[in-house]
C-alpha cells in the first residue's frame, strides 16, 4: 500500500504501516488496530452502529463490487464501465498483503482502546478525504484515505462483520463534514 497517515490529538501525524480488524465476542465490537511508523499503535473500538456507518462511507467512495452492484435495468454501456472499474478494484485487492500477521507495537497511544462514538467523512477540495472517529475519551482519530486504504478497510470489514454475523446490507444515513478552517485548532485531533 502507499503511505497513509493517521492523526491523533496531541501527537504529530504518523504513517500507517499495518492495519488489523478483529471481532471481540466478549465486547460484541470490532477492534481496529493501527500500527504506526513511530512504533506506536492506535486501538479503536467500533460498535455495530459505527461499523455500518464506516461501511457506507467507504463503500460510497470506491463502490466495492457486490452481487447486486450492477442492476438489471442498467444501460449496457454503463454496466460495462462499472464492470471494468470493479475489475480494477479487484486487481488492486489481489495485490494487497492480507497474509502477514499483525505486529503489535511497543506503545499504545492514549494507553488503551478508545470507543468511537461517531464517524465522519471529511472532504477537502485538494487533499485526500479523511475518516474521523470522535471517541468517548474526548479524542478524535483521523485517517487520511487513499483508494488502497479504503479497499483494505472494506475488505477487512466484509470478513470481520461476517464473522460477527452483522448484517451490513441495510445502509444508514451517512454524515459528511466539511472542516471549517477556524475550527481546526479547536478540536483535539491526534496527528
Q: What are phi and psi of 44, to 5 degrees?
A: -130, 120
Give the 3-state secondary structure of 140-170: EEEEECCHHHHHHHHHHHHHHHHHHCCCCCC
Cell digits of residue 99: 497474509
> What percentage of the chain carries pLDDT values higher than 70?
66
Task: Give the pLDDT confidence score for residue 117 in this predicted structure.
Answer: 97
Is the predicted pLDDT of residue 54 greater than 90, yes or no? yes
Q: What is the pLDDT of residue 155?
A: 84
**Which string of b and e fits 138-154 if b means at least 16 CB within 10 Å?**
ebbbbbbbbebbbbbbb
As a residue count, the chain comes to 191
Who wins on pLDDT, 78 or 150? 150
The C-alpha atoms of residue 13 and residue 119 are separated, in whole angstroms, by 19
Averaged pLDDT for residues 88-93: 66
Q: Phi first, then psi: what are they for 87, rounded to 5°?
A: -65, -40
- 167-187 pLDDT tens trace: 876 443 333 444 444 444 445
For residue 58, the enclosing domain spans 4-190
pTM higher than the cut 0.85:
no
| Reported confidence tier of residue 62, pLDDT bands at 50, 70, 90 | low
Per-residue pLDDT, 120 = 95
How is residue 135 written as a grid cell? 471517541
Cell readout for 129 is: 478525504
Cell of 122: 471529511
Grid cell listed for 179: 472542516
Q: Work out the average pLDDT over 136-140.
A: 91
Is the dihedral angle over the CA atoms 28, 29, 30, 31 positive or is it negative? negative
| 112 has a pLDDT exceeding 50 | yes
How far separated are the first and last CA of the chain, in Å rounded? 20
- 184 or 54, which is more confident: 54
What span, in angstroms and rounded, lies between the C-alpha atoms of 134 and 144? 15
> Average pLDDT of 117-123?
94
- Tell me what the pLDDT averaged over the chain comes to: 77
Contact 66/55 with Cβ under 8 angstroms? Answer: no
Res. 159: pLDDT tops 80: yes
- Over range 140-145, report the average pLDDT: 91
48 or 154: whose pLDDT is higher?
48
Band of pLDDT at residue 31, cut at 50, 70 and 90: very high
Domain count, the chain: 1
Q: Which helix (H) or strand (E) holds 52?
A: helix 48-62
pLDDT at 37: 87
Residue 8 pLDDT > 70: no
Amino acid at each position: 500500500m502507499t503511505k497513509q497517515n493517521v492523526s491523533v490529538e496531541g501527537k504529530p501525524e504518523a504513517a500507517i504501516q499495518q492495519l488489523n480488524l478483529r471481532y471481540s465476542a466478549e465486547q460484541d465490537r470490532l477492534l481496529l488496530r493501527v500500527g504506526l511508523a513511530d512504533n506506536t499503535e492506535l486501538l479503536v473500538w467500533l460498535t455495530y452502529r459505527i461499523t455500518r456507518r464506516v461501511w457506507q462511507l467507504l463503500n460510497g467512495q470506491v463502490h466495492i463490487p457486490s452481487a447486486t452492484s450492477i442492476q438489471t435495468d442498467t444501460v449496457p454501456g454503463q454496466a460495462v464501465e462499472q464492470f471494468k472499474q470493479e475489475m480494477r478494484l479487484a486487481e488492486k485487492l489481489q495485490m494487497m498483503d492480507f497474509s502477514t500477521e499483525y505486529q503489535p507495537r511497543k506503545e499504545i497511544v492514549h494507553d488503551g482502546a478508545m470507543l468511537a462514538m461517531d464517524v465522519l467523512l471529511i472532504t477537502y477540495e485538494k487533499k485526500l478525504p479523511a475518516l474521523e472517529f470522535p471517541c468517548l475519551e474526548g479524542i478524535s482519530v483521523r485517517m487520511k484515505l487513499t483508494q488502497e486504504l479504503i479497499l483494505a478497510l472494506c475488505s477487512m470489514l466484509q470478513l470481520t462483520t461476517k464473522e460477527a454475523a452483522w448484517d451490513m446490507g441495510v445502509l444508514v444515513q451517512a454524515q459528511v463534514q466539511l472542516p471549517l478552517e477556524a475550527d481546526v485548532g479547536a478540536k483535539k485531533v491526534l496527528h
